[in-house]
Structure 1
Amino acid sequence: MTESLRERKKRATRRHLAEVATRLFVERGFEAVTIAEIAEAADVSVKTVYNYFVAKEDLVLPRGGEASADRLAAFVRDRAPGESAARAVLRNLREELRRRDRSVGLTLGYGRFMRMVRESPTLLARFDRLGADMRATLAAELAAASGASPDDPVPGLVAAQIAWTQETMFAEIADRTARDEPPGEIAAAMLDLLDVMESLLGERVLAYATRPEEDDPR
């Protein structure tokens, strides 16, 4: 469906507000910048900012999109025939690293951004909530994919181990970007790290919720 002019304008305004806010946060610190200052810098009203972002931290980590709690579950839903949940997540993480995707922070300037995030208790709390929501959503997806009963602890345990690979990778990327290591070097190191983490996962986790092969049409 073609995006309307109104929708394009709203998306552009939302992006502009987030970019202006992030620049101010990086320069001065998240806690030190007010919504009024963001509105003034973006040449809009305070009401306009709140129309697009319910809370100040949403300007840094918007709900939905790259920051969606559905991220890992979506990887699992889209897994290929014969592919397990864990291998689908690992494949997607590797693809993001190889193309140096902005969703994993492999962009210039990300080091300053992460230093700002780590200095803000509010943003750290938001990241913690997002991680918990992501694990819970993944567990629900695994339960549905495996046909597990509501009281079966296995989907939650498997979800925690799968999420561990992403969380460990992101933490290492944050450390390295904070030291201003080049994105290409970070990507190569993270690909090696994913290989190590995959080798540490048990076969039951690696094979869990494997999508059945498609019927042979011949």
Structure 2
Amino acid sequence: MSENESGYGNAAELPLRERKKRATRQRISNVASALFRERGFEQVSVAEVARAAEVSTMTVFNYFPRKEDLFLDRIPEAVEVFSGAVRHRAPDETPLAALRRLALELLDRRHPLAGPDRGFPDFWEVVADSPALRARGREALEEIENALAESIAETAPDTLDPALTAALTVAAYRTVYVTTARRVFAGEPAESLVDDHRARVCAAFDALERALTPA
């Protein structure tokens, strides 16, 4: 998804073999992303990515089961990060509070999952030009929503409707993200929108709390 190293998990604490695997995965994704930006997603084959990354086609598919995942490479991270925030929250913290905290922490770190950054327009232009990538993006939202619903159901069984909570949370997060994205596409510097983005994240979670907290 970006040329930055994927951020889920603490890489420094991983065994050497796992660190090497992550480095290989990131290198393949970076090579693929550069080719897709240069020529378009549909015009680049997996075999070309493999040659440019100096690995076999089988190796590419070992790391990325689908071609689309070479570019949208943060999907597993998004699923893990958002569902993990619910699963590993403090005993006195609600799922929505944990997700709010996560959203603000990601924004403070300028993480790509938090909102558009300086490389955003180039990235999403590739997605916009590819029906396959757009379809994979929609599937990714469903994967995140399903993982969230499962984590809420398992760790907060008193939640009235875990599936509804997950669906509304994903929709709210996406709406805030898309609003900022449109402004970046219109030419506003991403960094100048951070405070407004933060305020809209908080407003979205305030609305979710009001809508989903039993009276």
Q: If the TM-score is normalised by the length of the shorter chain, which range does it land in?
A: 0.7 to 0.9
Q: 1:9 to 1:2 in 2, by over 3 A?
A: closer
Aligned length: 203
1:113 — aligned with what? Answer: 123
How far residue 23 of structure 1 moved from its aligned partner, in angstroms, is 0.8
2:4 — aligned with what? Answer: none
Contact 1:111/1:180 (8 A) holds in 2: no
2:198 — aligned with what? Answer: 191
Q: Does 1:12 align with 2:19?
A: no
The whole-number CA distance in structure 2 between the counterparts of 1:2 and 1:71 is 17
Task: Tell me which of 174, 197, 210 is aligned to 2:181.
Answer: 174
The whole-number CA distance in structure 1 between the counterparts of 2:51 and 2:129 is 24
Contact 2:107/2:115 (8 A) holds in 1: no
1:87 — aligned with what? Answer: 97
How far residue 36 of structure 1 moved from its aligned partner, in angstroms, is 2.1
How far residue 57 of structure 1 moved from its aligned partner, in angstroms, is 0.9
Task: Tell me which of 143, 150, 156 is aligned to 2:163.
Answer: 156
Secondary structure, aligned partner of 1:83? coil
2:201 alignment partner AA = L
The whole-number CA distance in structure 2 between the counterparts of 1:144 and 1:8 is 31
Q: 1:191 to 1:23 in 2, by over 3 A?
A: same
Q: TM-score, normalised by structure 2?
A: 0.80
Q: Which segments of 5 or more consecutive residues in structure 2 lack a partner in the other structure?
A: 1-12
1:10 alignment partner AA = K
2:112 alignment partner AA = R
Contact 1:75/1:88 (8 A) holds in 2: yes
2:39 alignment partner AA = R
Q: Does 1:62 align with 2:70?
A: no
Q: Which has the larger radius of gyration?
A: 1
Name the % identity: 36
2:21 alignment partner AA = K
Q: TM-score, normalised by structure 1?
A: 0.80
Contact 1:39/1:49 (8 A) holds in 2: yes
- Highest RCO, 1 vs 2 (Cα 8 Å, sep ≥ 6): 1
How far residue 72 of structure 1 moved from its aligned partner, in angstroms, is 2.4
Q: 1:207 to 1:163 in 2, by over 3 A?
A: farther
How far residue 172 of structure 1 moved from its aligned partner, in angstroms, is 2.5
How far residue 171 of structure 1 moved from its aligned partner, in angstroms, is 2.0
> What CA deviation, in whole Å up to 9, does each residue of 1:181-204 have, x standing for no partner?
323223222112113223323535
Matches within 5 A, 1:27-66: 27-62=38-73, 65-66=76-77
How far residue 105 of structure 1 moved from its aligned partner, in angstroms, is 4.6
